[in-house]
Structure 1
Amino acid sequence: MLIAFKSKSSPEVLMYQEHAQRILDLLHKNPTRGVITAAEAAHALSVLENEVAESKLHPETDVEHDAHTHEQEEGETREHAVLQRVGFAARAFPLLEMLRTAKAENENIIWGI
Structure 2
Amino acid sequence: MLITFKSKAYPNVMMYQDHAKRILDLLHKDSERGVITAEEATQAVRLLENEIEESRKHQATDEMEQDVKAHQGEEDAEHQPIETVTFSTRAFPLLEMLRASRDLQTDVLWGV
> Please, what TM-score do these two structures have when normalized by structure 2?
0.82
The alignment status of 1:77 with 2:72, answered yes or no, reads yes
Give the Å deviation of 1:60. 3.9
**Root-mean-square deviation over aligned CA pairs:** 2.6
- Kindly report structure 1 stretches of 4+ aligned residues shifted beyond 3 Å: none
Aligned length: 102
**In structure 2, distance between residues paired with 1:55 and 1:96:** 15
Residue matched to 1:30: 30
Which ranges of structure 2 fall in alignment gaps of 5 or more residues?
A: none
Which ranges of structure 1 fall in alignment gaps of 5 or more residues?
A: 65-71
> Please, what TM-score do these two structures have when normalized by structure 1?
0.81
**In structure 2, distance between residues paired with 1:23 and 1:37:** 16
Change (3 A) 1:87 1:32: same
Sequence identity (%): 54
- Summarize deviations over 1:20-55 as a string: whole Å, max 9, x none: 010001001000000000000000000000000000
Equivalent residue letter for 2:52: V
Give the Å deviation of 1:78. 7.9
Give the Å deviation of 1:59. 1.5
The alignment status of 1:58 with 2:58, answered yes or no, reads yes
